[in-house]
Amino acid sequence: MDANTIRQKFLDFEVKKGHKIIQPAPLVLEGDPTTLFTGSGMQPLLPYLLGKEHPEGKRLTDAQPSMRLQDIEDVGDPRHTTVFEMLGNWSLGDYFKREQIENFFEFLTQVVGLDPEKIYVTCFIGNEKYGIPKDTEAAEIWKSVFEKAGVKAEIAEIGSASEGDKRGIKEGERIFFYDDKENWWSRGGGIDSTPLGDPCGPDSEVFYDFGEDKQDVAKYGQSHPASDGARFMEIGNQVFMQYRRLEDGSFEELEKKNVDFGGGLERIAAAAIGSFDVFKISLMKPIIDKLEEISGKSYDNNTDEMRVIADHIRGAYLLASQGLAPSNKTQGYAMRRLVRRAILRALDLGISANFLSEIVPIVADNYKDLPDSILTHRDVALDVLLKEENAFRKTLNRGLKELEKLTRNKKIVDGRDIFMLQDTYGFPFELSVEECYRQGIELTPEYKKEFDEALKEQRERSQTASKGMFKGGLEDHGEQTVKYHTATHLLLAALQKVISPDIVQKGSNTTSERTRFDFNCDHKLTPEEISAVENQVNEWIAQDLPVVFDEYDKTYARDVLKAHGQFWDKYPDILKVYTIGDFDNPVSREVCGGPHVEHTGVIGKFKIKKEESSAAGIRRIKAVIE
């Protein structure tokens, strides 16, 4: 059964179970500044999961195209993609665990035709700290479902994933209890990070077993459903939203409990054909076949390159079909990154000429069954992507010519030369290095270090070009330090929101290991205040807010945008302003030279380690990212 058929079969099945089909949301949600892209089927439904009545009733279903760029570096393995479809169904205060579990098992085994012997499930082990019991109800429902199908299903307590790596599974075990890192759902992640007031609860994940021979025990430990090896692949997650977090941090049960189910179409399709490689399903394989044809190379020997191209062009097509164009800001920049990463990987395959004209029509045909209501601009998608391909190839050609000029008079190329090619001509670092190797051009032994030094110097120049411009107190511009820098902006905003709007920064020092932040305050923060500030920062991180900047006239930035700044009398007439969140109602807006992350979701968990006096009327917070 191919992916398009599975999508339609799922929707038909859910309609028979009393659900109403709702239209999928666009990948870029209008009026939602909390994330770059729609990352799950439940995201557009959050108001209804919080209690608002849905016009279509209490039973809903859809197939939602989604995108998560935080997985971009993992693309290349058999199962990670940046773009995917979530098959979803929801019960808004209607049915609960039994009906959901029985229905999903029926769909997998009787509609898709999966072997029940290859299905494994997980449940929440409970949490004594918050008085939340083990989800024995879900486990017992699963046990009865398996037994009706003639499958032996013993229940095992694993606890943490690391314990599972040591223990493995025993004969007959099919239902596994894990902790909140694996089987608790909230917008903040684990149970301790659940935002105040949010619905949350235990979940029950469903896995498909591709065979013990797929598990790399030496690398990942013993196989079990939550292990990182290729034996088990999650194909669906049923979230039982039965709790709400209170102001004091405890949890109470909801009067109306919800079910939020999401199943990965690509992964279910992979299970249906018995392949742990999602790039062999019908939405991917035609792309791979065409890449083999035009490159003259095999997929088996070039899996990373072909997987990246297939994934990224799918994502770029869906964005272009929804009216987005490549640019240097927010979603447009992410789209540009997808296209250019795909082109660079095509060069790795020896595809030097334009190739999107051959790939994009295949992607378009794969998604012809998606409704026009979501792919509103599919008629111009090819032209949009070809324009970007042509522009980037001109950049690459210009860079190659400049590299050729550079090497006419130099026998050895150093990192500063490579930086110049990237900074001035947009010629990527990786491509410069590859071309040098290809042409037999010698590189200095420390070319990477030299490149990084030049990059650091350029960033420092951009920050300090104007006297009095806020410097941010950064030790360096490494990735972790940049995360801390953005977290410090969130910390100031949280202090102003939780403690007092009159709080301003009185100094900061940010390294790759921690941030230190001084601020005006006339009292020592209470444990409750510290917890509230910390929770607010983590809530904004979990919302994956966009971080953008632009340059403005000083008066406009101060009087109209109300940007936070310290040295207005010293600032230049034109300055850089960073905004976090909705532009019209931002979480944070500060005069700053940067650099910052592009969206808050990459930061990690923020933890205040210490709050102390720094000087008279000045307090100091030291915090880390875990």
Tokens 């992350």 belong to residue: 597
Across residues 609-625, what is the average pLDDT? 89
Cβ(533)–Cβ(491) under 8 Å?
A: yes
Task: Say whether both 419 and 372 belong to one domain.
Answer: no
Please check whether residue 577 is in contact with residue 561, taking contact to mean a CB–CB distance below 8 angstroms: yes
Determine, yes or no, domain membership for 474. Answer: no
Residues 301 and 427 in one domain: no
Q: Which domain holds residue 137?
A: 3-280
Q: Within this chain, do residues 44 and 189 fall inside the same structural domain, yes or no?
A: yes
Same domain, 290 and 268: no
The burial of 29, by beta-carbon neighbours within 10 Å (0-12 exposed, 13-18 middle, 19 or more buried), is given as: middle
Angstrom distances, CA of residue 170 to CA of 98, 182, 215, 346, 591: 26, 20, 15, 45, 58
The answer to whether residue 470 is domain-embedded is no
303 with 422, same domain: the answer is: no
Q: Tell me which DSSP letter residue 560 carries.
A: T
**Exposure of 234 by Cβ count < 10 A (0-12 exposed, 13-18 middle, 19+ buried)?**
middle
Alpha helix positions (H), 73-135: 97-106
- On whether both 449 and 341 belong to a single domain, the answer is no
Task: From 537, 568, 563, 532, select the one nearest 550 (Cα to Cα).
Answer: 563
Same domain, 456 and 518: no
Nearest to 381 by CA among 327, 340, 324: 324
SS (H, E, C) 492-503: HHHHHHHCCCCC
Per-residue pLDDT band for 616 (boundaries 50, 70, 90) equals confident
Indicate the pTM of the whole model. Answer: 0.71
Q: What angle do CA 309, 232, 77 make, to 5 degrees?
A: 20
Question: Whole-angstrom Cα distance, residue 542 to residue 189?
Answer: 8
Q: Is the pLDDT assigned to residue 463 strictly greater than 60?
A: no
Shortest CA distance to 206 belongs to which of 268, 286, 251?
Answer: 268
Q: Over 90: is that where the pLDDT of 567 sits?
A: no
Percent of the chain with pLDDT over 70: 96
400 assigned to some structural domain: no
Q: Does pLDDT of 466 surpass 50?
A: no
Question: Which residue type is seen at 223?
Answer: S
Q: How many Cα atoms within 13 Å fall on the side-chain side of residue 154?
A: 8
- Within 10 A of 401 (CB to CB), how many other CB atoms are there? 12
The count of domains in the chain is 4
| pLDDT value at 465 more than 60 | no
pLDDT 10s digits, 522-536: 899 999 999 999 999
Which of 347, 362, 395 is the last residue before a domain boundary?
395
When pLDDT is averaged across residues 407-435 and rounded to a whole number, the result is 85
Q: Which of 98, 104, 176 shows the shortest CA–CA distance to 141?
A: 98
Residue 462's pLDDT band (cuts 50, 70, 90):
low
Say which CATH number the domain at 543 has.
3.30.980.10
Which own/partner pairs from 407-414 qualify as long-range (CB within 8 Å, at least 24 positions apart)? 407/439, 407/441, 411/442, 412/442, 412/443, 412/444, 413/441, 413/442, 413/443, 413/444, 413/447, 414/443, 414/444, 414/447, 414/450
* Cβ atoms 305, 348 nearer than 8 A: yes
Whether residue 449 sits in one domain with residue 494: no
Instruction: Give per-residue pLDDT as tens, 377-399.
Output: 999 999 999 999 998 988 888 88
* Residue 569 lies inside a defined structural domain of this protein: yes
Give the pLDDT score at 560.
76
Per the domain annotation, does 60 fall within a domain? yes
* pLDDT tens digit sequence for 59-112: 999 999 999 887 788 888 888 999 999 999 999 999 999 999 999 999 999 999
Is residue 575 within 8 Å of 469, Cβ to Cβ? yes
pLDDT digits over 539-563, tens only?
Answer: 999 998 999 887 777 777 887 788 9
Instruction: Output the pLDDT for position 182.
Output: 95
Lowest mean pLDDT among 45-49, 79-83, 107-111, 349-353: 45-49
Burial bucket for residue 508 (CB in 10 Å: 0-12, 13-18, 19+): buried
Give CA–CA dist 356/228, Å, rounded: 34
Same domain, 214 and 174: yes
Identify whether residues 341 and 209 lie together within a single domain: no
The CATH number covering residue 276 comes to 3.30.930.10
Residues 253 and 147 occupy one common structural domain: yes
Q: Domain boundary at 395, 424, 446, which?
A: 395
**Has residue 370 been placed in a domain?**
yes
**With 70 as the cut, is the pLDDT of residue 469 above it?**
no
Number of Cβ within 10 Å of residue 240's Cβ equals: 26
Domain boundary residue among 247, 280, 313?
Answer: 280
Burial (0-12, 13-18, 19+ Cβ within 10 Å), 203: buried
Question: Is residue 405, in this structure, part of any structural domain at all?
Answer: no
Answer yes or no: is 425 within a domain: yes
Same domain, 158 and 59: yes
Tell me how far apart the alpha carbons of residues 352 and 125 are, in angstroms, rounded to a whole number. 53
Classified as helix, coil or strand, 531 is helix
DSSP character for 37?
S
pLDDT of residue 255: 86
The mean pLDDT value for 185-200 works out to: 86
